Structure formats: structure tokens, C-alpha cells
């Protein structure tokens, strides 16, 4: 792997793992079992905090700290009701990285985590957010295009690469959204990425504890099946979610109309309406991932779902990604010589 080692050394050093391939945090999916398996196979895992009850979050984090000896991160959702509790717990734990997601951390929150001896990363879905997070003092960015699954922005990765990656080529930038193959990883590294983040591909691992019906839905899906939700009115700002099209997506549209009517009649506050939106996604995602209700539950997936058609051991997935990236680097090298 001598060719690829030359171009992802920066990412390896930053994360402290063999392969700067991040397994993105997915609520109800990125639990201890997946985190441990990703770490054991040389990549970089992220524990999903979601909106777990604080005591359960602390227990899961302690389990990871006790049993995982290589660096990993914990993902904190800034818009989750339990965010401040999660932040305080993480601040006092021996975890190497904190990833802020779901919104924008305050500069004071970034500073507090850094003062506790941890490195910080934050998501950026636009050029302005990337600049803001860098100014807030984060140590690295996860530049996520709209091709990704779950909560997303509205700008494609191919545009963000030109706006942000090329602009901040000395800053640790990991890229995400629509990535499913080693060949693509190779080209992103050649563009200057420190590494990549994948989510959907890791769902399709033997070690992922998601319900078999959830994985079967991924097997059957095409890239175009993973659609993003619309926002119907600026009176109720919602973060877009990309998931496989099913009844849960239809029902979310109905929920928006219901909440907008309540807002119009002053029957609910804007904050409470947004909490209902997030509660909807947390609940329906659990229904699909844990209970296997693939009709009414949320099937959050990126468009890379169209590239993934089988369940494999994690060791095999990571070996494919790394070896295919190495082959692509060598192919490009030969084209240029």
C-alpha cells in the first residue's frame, strides 16, 4: 500500500489509525458493537450520541473507552434536547475526539472540549459553515455533500470540494456524501482530502446490529430511491433528511402541514414544533433499525446505497476499500508517467 500511504499520511496522523476512513455516526446503528468492529479493522469509528438518556449515553461511552484501545470519536447532536448533558459527560471522559453534528456548536463549546484535551471536528454543508467552524476553532472538518444519508445540507459534494477543500488545502478536511468505493476514495485523496467518511456502506456489514429487514431494504434500493425531504414553509425551518422513499417520508410531509397549522393558530411554539420534527425522525428511525418496520420506519440512507448490494464482514469491506484505492492510485500514476 505504498502509493496510498503517501497521500493519506496527514489523515492517518490526525486520527491516529491505520486508515483515515471514518465510520459516520448513525443513530441506533453506530453503537458499541459497530464502533469496536471498525476500530479492530483499522478504520476510525464514531459512537452516535443521538438523544440517548444521559445515563445510557455515559454507560455506552464508558464501554467504548474500556474496550477500545485505539482512537475513536463520540458524535454529539447540537440540536438534541440532551446535548448539554452529553457535552458535559464527554468533556470529563477519556475519549480522543468529539464530533459536533446536527447544527453549529458555539465557540465556547468547542473551546471547552479542546481544553479538556480532546480534538474536535464539525460538519460543514456549505462554504460559510466551513469558515464559521474553522473560526470557532475546530481541529478538523467533515465536509458533507447532500448525497449523504440522514440529516443533510443542500449542496452536492462536487461543489463543496471546489468551494472548501481547494480553498483550505492545509486544514484537515474529511469528505462525506455518496462515497461507496475505494476508487472514489483515491480520487478524493488526490484532490487533497485528509480522509473520507462513509455511513451507508458500514450499515451493510455483518457486525452492524441493524435489523435484517433494514439491510434488505438497502440491498434492493437504487441511488434515486434515497430522496431528501422538502421544507414546506420558512415558518417551520427543518433540516432536510435523506432516506429511502416509503410511508415514513410521506408521513413527515403530513406532520409538517399539521405543525404549520398549529403554528398559525399559536397552538405550539416554533421550538416545540422543531422538537416534534426531531422526535419524529428519532422514533421512526428506531422503528426501522431496531424493530424492522421498513414501511413506517425511517430508512435513512445516502445515495451510495445504489452501490451496495450485499452484506459483508467489516474486515472484507475495509480491505476492498483500501486495496481498490491503492489500485486506483497506481492506475493514475501509470497514466501520468
| Domains with residue ranges and CATH for the chain | 2-210+307-336 (3.20.20.70), 219-303 (no CATH)
What is the reported pTM?
0.95
What is the rounded (10 degree) CA torsion for 245, 246, 248, 252? 50
Rounded to the nearest integer, the mean pLDDT of the chain is 95
- Predicted confidence (pLDDT) at residue 1 exceeds the cutoff of 80: no
- Residue 175 pairs in a beta bridge with 143, 196
Q: What is the pLDDT of residue 106?
A: 95
Higher per-residue pLDDT: 38 or 80: 38
Q: What is the pLDDT of residue 307?
A: 95
At residue 332 the predicted structure's pLDDT band, cuts being 50, 70 and 90, is: very high
- Predicted confidence (pLDDT) at residue 201 exceeds the cutoff of 90: yes
Can you spell out the DSSP letters for 231-293?
---TTS---EEEEE-SHHHHHHHHHHHHHHHHHHTTSS-HHHHHHHHHHHHHHHHHHHHTT--
Contact 41, 315 (CB under 8 A): yes
- Predicted confidence (pLDDT) at residue 318 exceeds the cutoff of 90: yes
- Predicted confidence (pLDDT) at residue 207 exceeds the cutoff of 90: yes
- Summarised one tens digit per residue, pLDDT across range 293-313 is 999 999 999 999 999 989 999
Exposure string over 234-269, b if 16+ CB within 10 A, otherwise e: eebebbbbbbbebebbeebeebbeebbebbeeeebe
Mean pLDDT on 274-293 = 92
How many whole angstroms separate alpha carbon 242 and alpha carbon 299? 9
- Summarised one tens digit per residue, pLDDT across range 140-157 is 999 999 999 999 999 999
How many whole angstroms separate alpha carbon 311 and alpha carbon 207? 10
At residue 195, φ and ψ (nearest 5 deg) are: 175, -170
The half-sphere exposure of 327 on its side-chain side, counting CA atoms within 13 A, is 10
Distances (CA, A) of 254 to 242, 257, 299, 302, 306: 17, 5, 18, 23, 27
- Predicted confidence (pLDDT) at residue 275 exceeds the cutoff of 90: no
Contacts of 1 (CB under 8 A, 6+ apart): 322, 323, 326
At residue 119, φ and ψ (nearest 5 deg) are: -90, 155
- Name the strand (E) or helix (H) holding 74: strand 73-77
Chain centre distance of CA 3: 27
- Predicted confidence (pLDDT) at residue 276 exceeds the cutoff of 80: yes
Amino acid at each position: 500500500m505504498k502509493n496510498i500511504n503517501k497521500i493519506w499520511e496527514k489523515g492517518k496522523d490526525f486520527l491516529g489509525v491505520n486508515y483515515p476512513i471514518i465510520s459516520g455516526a448513525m443513530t441506533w446503528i453506530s453503537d458499541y458493537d459497530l464502533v469496536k468492529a471498525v476500530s479492530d479493522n483499522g478504520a476510525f469509528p464514531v459512537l452516535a450520541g443521538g438523544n440517548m438518556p444521559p445515563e445510557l449515553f455515559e454507560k455506552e461511552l464508558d464501554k467504548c473507552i474500556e474496550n477500545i484501545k485505539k482512537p475513536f470519536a463520540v458524535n454529539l447532536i447540537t440540536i438534541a434536547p440532551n446535548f448539554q448533558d452529553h457535552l458535559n459527560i464527554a468533556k470529563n471522559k477519556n475519549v480522543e475526539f468529539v464530533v459536533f453534528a446536527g447544527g453549529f456548536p458555539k465557540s465556547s463549546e468547542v473551546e471547552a472540549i479542546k481544553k479538556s484535551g480532546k480534538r474536535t471536528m464539525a460538519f460543514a454543508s456549505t462554504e460559510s459553515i466551513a469558515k464559521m467552524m474553522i473560526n470557532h476553532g475546530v481541529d478538523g472538518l467533515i465536509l458533507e455533500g447532500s448525497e449523504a444519508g440522514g440529516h443533510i445540507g443542500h449542496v452536492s459534494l462536487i461543489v463543496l470540494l471546489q468551494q472548501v477543500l481547494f480553498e483550505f488545502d492545509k486544514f484537515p478536511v474529511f469528505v462525506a456524501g455518496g462515497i461507496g468505493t475505494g476508487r472514489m476514495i483515491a480520487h478524493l485523496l488526490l484532490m487533497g482530502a485528509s480522509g473520507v467518511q462513509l455511513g451507508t456502506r458500514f450499515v451493510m456489514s455483518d457486525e452492524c446490529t441493524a435489523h435484517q429487514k433494514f439491510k434488505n431494504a438497502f440491498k434492493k434500493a437504487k441511488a434515486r430511491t434515497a430522496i431528501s425531504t422538502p421544507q414546506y414553509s420558512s415558518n417551520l425551518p427543518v433540516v432536510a433528511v435523506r432516506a429511502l422513499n416509503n410511508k415514513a417520508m410521506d408521513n413527515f410531509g403530513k406532520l409538517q402541514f399539521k405543525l404549520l397549522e398549529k403554528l398559525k393558530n399559536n397552538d405550539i411554539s416554533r421550538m416545540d414544533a422543531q422538537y416534534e420534527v426531531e422526535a419524529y425522525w428519532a422514533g421512526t428511525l428506531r422503528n426501522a433499525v431496531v424493530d424492522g418496520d421498513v414501511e413506517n420506519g425511517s430508512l435513512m440512507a445516502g445515495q451510495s446505497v445504489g452501490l451496495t448490494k450485499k452484506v459483508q464482514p467489516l474486515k472484507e469491506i475495509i480491505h476492498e476499500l483500501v486495496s481498490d484505492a491503492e489500485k486506483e492510485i497506481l492506475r493514475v500514476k501509470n497514466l501520468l508517467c
